[in-house]
Every structure is written in structure tokens, then in C-alpha cells.
Structure 1
Amino acid sequence: MYKMALLMIGILAVSPFANAAESGVRTVTVSGQGEIQAEPDKAIVLLGIESRRPKLEEARAEVARVVDEALKLTRDLKIDQKYVRATRINVQPEYNWDNTARERHLIGYYVSRQIEVDLRDLDKLGQLLERAVDLGVNQVSEPQLDSSKRRELEREALAKAVQDARLNAEAVAKAAGARLGAPRTISASSGFVPPPMPYQKRTMAAMAESDAAGTYQSGEMSFTGNVQVEYDLIPDAMQ
């Protein structure tokens, strides 16, 4: 039975004699991490319009008016209309329960609709939110910030992770009296962490009080790569 040697260096877990029992080949398995910081350059913005009125026609008319004005706003801001989408209208009757009569009574209607904007120019984000609220938009969800170069940035993070793994493997190989050979296996994963969102879902009154739309600033996104690599270990003839 072969005796296993385990060397721990920070986040690095290696075994210079891994798989020796099966193949007689000395290997080392290491992990590597990479990270790239970048500012977002686009955002998904959801503008909600809600109305409650005794009559359905009144609620529908109010929502339709605000939707039309909000869509016109996107055109005025020169937002490409292929990135603007209005959802289907939602209509729900609302009732009040009469405990005495043991029956419900229709008291009105709730009507809502959303506009989704895939905003490719974040300089317009403050104007879009602030002016939309002025027009009657009464629900604004926090923008979902993203980067149009996400895939490229994730690949850069993966490349840094591979470099980090190789440096870790070389350090362990040297300490074990060996040289590093070719990689046998590589597993990788990547992802991103969006910047903190400065907005909470809020009503028109809350937006007006905080003036958040006019003071909007985006933070940086973090793109990460993680790899695990198994390398061959070659005996060092000089040792």
C-alpha cells in the first residue's frame, strides 16, 4: 500500500503521488482563481404602471395613457426601440367582503402593465427613471446591471485562473523535488457578481423624496474564474 503525502499551501491542496497506485505516474492537482473588475455598460429597467379605479374603463385608460407617455419618453431619449418592450395588460377585479350579508361586493378594478427597457447607455438611466416617475410610472424595480462584454471578461478571468494554477503547481513541484509536466485534466467554472444595487422597488412618492434617479452611480462588477488542474510531475534529474 502506497503511503500518501498531503501538502497544504493556503487554498492549495496537492498530492504529489496521486494516482500512483493505478498508473505509477506522479501527479499534482492544484486550484487557481482569477478575477476581473469592470464597470457595467447596460441595464434592464422595469417600469411599472398600476391603477385602481371603481370602473374598469377608468383604470385601463389611466394605465394606457402613462404607458404611451413612457414609451414616447424612450423615443425622446433616443433609446433603440428594439430594446423596449411593453408587456400584456393585467386586469383583476377587486372585492370587499360583507360580513353581515355574507357576500362579496365588487369595489373596483386593478389594472397594471410593465415596460421593459434594455438600456445600452447608462448615462441615460437617471433621466429615464426620473422622468418616467414624473409621467406617472408608480413602480420602479432596481436596475439589473450587466456588461455587454460579459463572456469576454469571464474568459479573461478564466485565463488568469489557469495562470494562477500553474504558478501554484510550479511552487509545489519545486518543493517536492520535481519539475512540472503537461496538464492531464482541467475543470473550470466562471461567473460574475453584479455591483450593489442602489435602488429598492419603490413608489412614485418614495422616488421623489430620495431623488435617487438624479444621483445614480454604478459600481464595478466582478468576473471570476476558477479552475482545478492536474499536472504530471517529472523527476528532476538535478536532484
Structure 2
Amino acid sequence: MNMSVTLIIKSFFSTCNIGKEVRWMHENQTSIPVLWVSGMGRVKVEPDMAEVKVGVVTENQSLSVAQSQSAEVVTKLIQSLQEAGIKKQDIQTDEYYIFPEYDYQDGKQEFRGYRVTHILNVTVDNIRNVGAIIDLAVSNGANRVSNVSFHVRNRTEYEQEALRRSLYDAQRKAQTVCQTLGVHLYPVPIKIVEGRSDVREERPVTYGKTTVLSSASTPVEAGQTEITAQVQVQFTYYSPQ
């Protein structure tokens, strides 16, 4: 059990009244009935930062010309982003590759030229500016905008809240099971296994080449980010006398 789970358990069960029976049960776990339940906790958060991939694709029969054209446009693109307030460390090359291009006619392969692709990953601190950054990139030569993703900068407090909710969910399930079976639940679990935590964007935004080039003003909706936590919890119970 990691430290975050331990701290939440102490807070979660700090008001529980643990008697001698519970202590005895913890010491004699092999001889008591147990109940396993799962718990899920979800927290929805407004994202406060975004990443967008913008880039340039050039084609020419000469590889050196295609590379030179790409470098010229990307240099202009980076300069325009920095002038718009994007920090240098928030602009990073994400992809760079060169492919030969061929046409096929009558079963024959004919060399057409080279394609050079250079994609930048741009971090935008203010998500309100994402649409403007996309438009700026396109107006300065970008002909690829492959993806926009939204993130939460400081996730720890939300992850802790999701974990806390997953414990409450597990306890509610255990209480429901015991009430249905007519037995009594000891509220303090004897074992907790933390499962996988996840972060999911409810509405990821993806742009293709056609969308970007045909749009004079790019609307971007951030939606919400959902942070989840899962636990497996083992409780003990006893039959009424």
C-alpha cells in the first residue's frame, strides 16, 4: 500500500469506533468471513493547459530542396509562435521524417520526389488561446495540425479526491451486500489494493488537413478531463447473535 492510500485511509476511517472485536479479527484473519468489493472514484476537472501538434509537409523531386523549404517554413513558424508568447521550451520537435514518393501507372513505379515532414509539439498555457495559436500557425505556413489535447497542470489533489471517492464507493457497496444478506459489516477494511488510475479527456479534438486549411477562425472546445481511481477492498462481517 503506498503512502497516498495510507493517508487517505487514516482520514477516511478516523471517526470509526474500533473495538476489541475488530482488533481480534485483524489478528485472526484466516478464521473469519471476508467480503471483497471494488470501488471507483471519479473527478471531473476543467483543463488548464493544452498541447497542439502543428507542422509542415513539403514535397520536391530534390531532397535538399524539400528539406530547405521545410526548414524555412518551420523557422518562420517557430518565430511567430514565440512572438505570440509561446516559450521556447514549450516548442519541441515531435516528428521529423523523410519518405520517397512514387506514382504507380500501368503496374509501373515512377519516382515522384521526396516528402519531408516536420511536426512541432506546442504547449499552450492558456487554453483560451488554442484556436488563435492554430490560426497563427496556419497563417505562417503550417499545413498539418494533427491533434489538440487538454491536460490538468496539477493533478495530485484531484487524484487524491478520486481515490477518496473510490473508498467511499467500496464501503457503500459492502454495506449494501451485508444489509441484503442480513449480516453486520465491520466498517474498517482489513486489506486495500489500489488499482489503476486514469485520466480521460471527454472530448478530444482532432483536426485534419482539410479542416485547418478551410477555417478562417478555429473554434476549440476544451470540455472536461475525468480523473479516475480504482480500489479493491476486503472487509470482514459477522452474523447477528
TM class by shorter chain equals: 0.7 to 0.9
Shift of 1:66: 1.3
Q: Structure 1 CA distance, aligned partners of 2:96 and 2:37?
A: 54
> TM-score by structure 1 length?
0.76
Aligned residues: 211
Deviations 1:121-164 (A, max 9, x none): 21221111111111111111121222122343222111101012
Amino acid at match of 1:135: N
Q: Which SS does the other structure have where 2:193 is aligned?
A: strand
Relative to 1, partners in 2 of residues 1:217 and 1:97: Cα closer, same or farther, differing over 3 Å?
closer
Match of 1:182 among 181, 185, 188: 188
Q: Structure 1 CA distance, aligned partners of 2:95 and 2:205?
A: 28
Q: Structure 2 CA distance, aligned partners of 1:106 and 1:29?
A: 64
In structure 2, the residue matched to 1:51 is 58
Does structure 2 retain, via aligned residues, the 8 Å contact 1:199–1:212?
no
Amino acid at match of 2:70: V
In structure 2, the residue matched to 1:220 is 224
Q: Structure 1 CA distance, aligned partners of 2:103 and 2:30?
A: 77
Q: Structure 1 CA distance, aligned partners of 2:47 and 2:56?
A: 27
In structure 1, the residue matched to 2:23 is none
Amino acid at match of 1:216: V
Shift of 1:87: 4.9
In structure 2, the residue matched to 1:168 is 173
- Alignment of 1:117 onto 2:111: no
Q: Structure 1 CA distance, aligned partners of 2:48 and 2:71?
A: 31
Does structure 2 retain, via aligned residues, the 8 Å contact 1:95–1:108?
yes
In structure 2, the residue matched to 1:126 is 131
* Alpha-carbon RMSD: 2.6
Deviations 1:192-222 (A, max 9, x none): 221212333224xx32424462x21210111
Question: Which structure 2 residue ranges, 5 or more long, are not aligned?
Answer: 1-28
Does structure 2 retain, via aligned residues, the 8 Å contact 1:145–1:195?
no
In structure 2, the residue matched to 1:195 is 202
Amino acid at match of 2:68: A
Deviations 1:88-134 (A, max 9, x none): 7433333456769x7x6543222221111122221221111111111
Amino acid at match of 2:124: L
Q: Structure 2 CA distance, aligned partners of 1:191 and 1:147?
A: 13
Does structure 1 retain, via aligned residues, the 8 Å contact 2:174–2:185?
no
Amino acid at match of 2:192: I
- Alignment of 1:232 onto 2:236: yes
Q: Which SS does the other structure have where 2:160 is aligned?
A: helix
Larger radius of gyration: 1
Does structure 2 retain, via aligned residues, the 8 Å contact 1:173–1:180?
no
Shift of 1:26: 2.2
Greater shift in the superposed pair: 34-43 or 80-89: 80-89
Q: Structure 2 CA distance, aligned partners of 1:30 and 1:96?
A: 60
Match of 2:32 among 15, 25, 29: 25
Q: Structure 1 CA distance, aligned partners of 2:95 and 2:166?
A: 45
How do 1:35-184 residues align onto structure 2 when only pairs under 5 Å count? 35-87=42-94, 89-96=96-103, 106-175=111-180, 176-184=182-190
How do 1:4-23 residues align onto structure 2 when only pairs under 5 Å count? 23=30
Does structure 1 retain, via aligned residues, the 8 Å contact 2:95–2:120?
no
Q: Which SS does the other structure have where 1:143 is aligned?
A: strand
Shift of 1:181: 4.7
